[in-house]
Structure formats: C-alpha cells, structure tokens
C-alpha cells in the first residue's frame, strides 16, 4: 500500500466519512512540500480556499440561529474565534491529521506534522473535499459535530475578542495605561520551542503564559491578566 493509500485510509477512519472520490481526499491531505518533492501537480491549496468559505458560511448560519440575542459585533467576534487557525489546528490534532498529512522531508524534519499552519490549512482542505464529495448537508453535519462544543463554550464567554485587544481596551478604560509584554524565556529544541511571557500594567505583573509561539504565550498571559483584573474592586 502506497503512502497515498495509507493516508487516505487512515483519514477516512478518523473522519468517519467514506469518500466516493478518494482522490479528492488524497489532494486535501497533500501539502505543497510533498507535491513539489514527488513532482505531483495537485496539492491542497485550492481545496483549502474552498473549505475556508464553506466553513465560514456554515458556522455563520449556525451561530446566527443559535445566538439570536447577539448583535453583529458579537457574532463576528464569535465566528472569528471559531474559524481561526488556532482552533482549526486543535481540531486537526484531535482527529490525528498530523499522522496522515502528506508533507515533504524538509517539512517533516522541521516538525511539520505539528505545525499549526499546516494542520489548519489541511483541515480547511478536508472540509472543501467533503463538500465536493458529499454535498452541503453532510458537510454541515460534519462541521457542526466538530465545532459544537467550542461554539457552546465560546458563546458563553464574557470576552469574545482577541484577549490582547480586550486587555488593552480594559487597561486603557480603567487606568489609561497600555499592557506591556515581556518574553521571560525560551526553552525546548529549535524546531519546537516553548516560550514564556509575562504581561504587566503600570509595573504590576497580572498574567503569565506559556505557548509554542511568542504570540500564543502572550495571548495566554493576556487571558490570565483579564481574570486577575476582573477580581479587583474599582
């Protein structure tokens, strides 16, 4: 069994979908690095483009009906949190997409199977392939099943915006001061670093975060700061 056949077999088992045209799924799993390496013409960027649009409309329709009290701004923030690369990568990891995505040797050696961008793009391409092969109803059920828990959790959240933006708005409102982020440390191997960050306001540390990127560490620190500041009396 070839690498392509193994990848398609594992993917169908993980997704719980039997494709009519397995070549579509094969393309969805093929990263450009792998295609260039073997001289293949097709890789997943076009399906990713389609999947991004399909995901957006299905999530938008669902939250429109699920949260009738939300105004446009709230719905837009909720949708943005749900369809961002970080969320898609989390879902891809849950489905073990990293195990069967087809990537080149260079990308493999640099940790491509854990790369957030590669996983998120592949997840969008899979959605595009499901849509073409199975139609809108199956695709809607597939997406909502993957996102239902996150939709419920995010819909109940008090702060739907990016935590760094929300923290900045809060500190400006309360103290007329901007938060300051400091990178505390960087550990781990070069291909998989772990960053630690702290956020201060007027010299006081309110949050700390650890993540696989500086941005992620700062976001986690901002979330922690929001929790701590919300406990203060004003």
Tens-place pLDDT, residues 76-91: 888 888 998 889 999 9
Same domain for 118 and 76: yes
Same domain for 114 and 60: yes
Which CATH number fits the domain that encloses residue 188? 3.30.160.20
Last residue within a domain, chosen from 121, 155, 189? 155
Catalytic site residue 52?
yes
Angle at 177 between CA 172 and CA 183, to 5 degrees: 115
Same domain for 130 and 72: yes
Which CATH number fits the domain that encloses residue 39? 1.10.1520.10
Same domain for 193 and 123: no
Catalytic site residue 121?
no
Q: What is the domain range of residue 53? A: 3-155
Count of the separate structural domains present in the chain: 2
Last residue within a domain, chosen from 155, 182, 199? 155
Q: Which of 121, 124, 133, 224 is catalytic?
A: 124
pLDDT tens digit sequence for 33-42: 888 877 777 8
Same domain for 215 and 108: no
Same domain for 179 and 142: no
Contact in structure between 101 and 3 (CB atoms under 8 Å): no
Name the pTM for this structure.
0.69
Same domain for 106 and 140: yes
Same domain for 174 and 97: no
Same domain for 108 and 41: yes
Contact in structure between 220 and 210 (CB atoms under 8 Å): yes
178 pLDDT higher than 60: yes
Q: Which of 13, 22, 48, 52 is catalytic?
A: 52
Per DSSP, the residues of 103-172 read --HHHHHTTGGG-HHHHHHHHHHHHHHHHHHH-HHHHHHHHHHHHHHHHHHHHH-S--S-HHHHHHHHHH
Same domain for 111 and 189: no
Same domain for 182 and 115: no
Last residue within a domain, chosen from 109, 137, 155? 155
pLDDT tens digit sequence for 106-163: 887 888 788 888 999 999 999 999 999 999 999 999 999 999 999 988 877 644 567 8
Same domain for 173 and 150: no
């Amino acid at each position: 069994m070839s690498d392509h056949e193994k990848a398609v077999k594992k993917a169908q088992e993980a997704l719980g979908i039997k494709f009519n045209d397995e070549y579509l799924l094969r393309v969805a799993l093929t990263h450009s690095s792998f295609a260039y390496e073997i001289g293949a013409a097709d890789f997943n960027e076009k399906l990713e483009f389609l999947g991004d649009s399909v995901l957006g409309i299905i999530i938008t329709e669902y939250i429109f009906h699920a949260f009738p009290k939300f105004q446009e701004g709230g719905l837009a923030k909720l949708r943005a949190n749900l369809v961002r690369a970080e969320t898609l990568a989390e879902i891809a990891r849950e489905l073990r997409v990293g195990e069967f995505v087809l990537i080149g040797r260079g990308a493999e050696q640099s940790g491509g199977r854990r790369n957030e961008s590669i996983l998120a793009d592949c997840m969008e391409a899979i959605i595009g392939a499901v849509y073409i092969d199975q139609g809108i109803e199956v695709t809607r059920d597939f997406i909502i099943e993957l996102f239902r828990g996150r939709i419920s959790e995010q819909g109940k959240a008090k702060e739907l915006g990016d935590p760094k933006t929300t923290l900045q708005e809060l500190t400006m409102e309360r103290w007329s001061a901007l938060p300051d982020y400091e990178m505390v440390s960087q550990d781990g191997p070069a291909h998989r670093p772990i960053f630690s960050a702290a956020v201060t306001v007027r010299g006081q540390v309110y949050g700390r975060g650890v993540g696989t990127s500086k941005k992620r560490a700062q976001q986690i620190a901002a979330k922690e700061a929001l929790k701590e500041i919300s406990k203060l009396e004003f």
